[in-house]
Structure 1
Amino acid sequence: MKAFLRRLFSPLLSAFESGNEPYTYKPLNRKILLFISSIFLFLGSLVCFLIPSEADKGYYIPVVVFGSLGFVGLVIGLIGNDRAVAKIWNNK
């Protein structure tokens, strides 16, 4: 299953997993990334739920921003390698 998901999200993962420069990785970084990403997804869902039905389209900008950040963070945190997690935190 993980191999299938890595193939499915390979365009996103390749941007973060590329490079050969040294990096510093700590297992706590992955846990923090997953926690922050889940908070972003929760915020995006909450904002989407609280938007009135007759609201302007501009109210959906936070939903897209929080949802995208949460989704990318979860993908990197769950199926990305150590280099991808370190690149998210910019650890060199």
Structure 2
Amino acid sequence: MKALLTKLAFPILNALEKSEGSYEYSPSHRTILKVMGFLFMVISAVGLYFSMKIEQWAGLFPVILFAGIGILCWIVAFLGSDKAVSKLWRNRNE
């Protein structure tokens, strides 16, 4: 399953993993990305709920934005290499 998801997320992961040079990686960065992804998805779900409840469809823009950021965090945290996590955090030694 992970191989299939990695194939689907290849455009995102490839862009993050192409950096050259050394990088600094800490396992806590991956953990924080997982938590941030969860928090962004919670914000997105709450925004969707209230947007639908008051029938204000312009509220879908932040829902899509927060969900996109949450999905990006989860893709990099669960499928990305150490270099991809480091590049997302900008912890590179060049």
TM-score norm. by structure 1 comes to: 0.92
Which has the larger strand fraction?
2
Query: What 5-or-longer segments of structure 2 have no aligned partner?
Result: none
Output the TM-score relative to the length of structure 2.
0.90
Deviation digits for residues 18-72 of structure 1 (CA, Å, limit 9, x no counterpart)? 12221100000000010011100110011001113531x3211110111000000
Q: Does structure 1 residue 33 correspond to structure 2 residue 33?
A: yes
What corresponds to 2:66 in structure 1?
66
**Aligned residues of 2:43 and 2:66 also touching (Cα < 8 A):** yes
The letter for the 1-side match of 2:23 is Y
Aligned mates of 1:21, 1:39 — CA distance in 2: 32
Residue 47 of structure 2 corresponds to which residue in structure 1? Answer: 47
1: CA distance, partners of 2:29 / 2:19 = 19
Identity of aligned residues (%): 31
Structure 1: tracts of 5 or more residues without a match: none
Q: CA deviation at 1:89?
A: 0.6
Aligned length: 91
- Is the partner of 1:16 in helix, strand or coil? helix
**Partner residue, 2:18:** 18
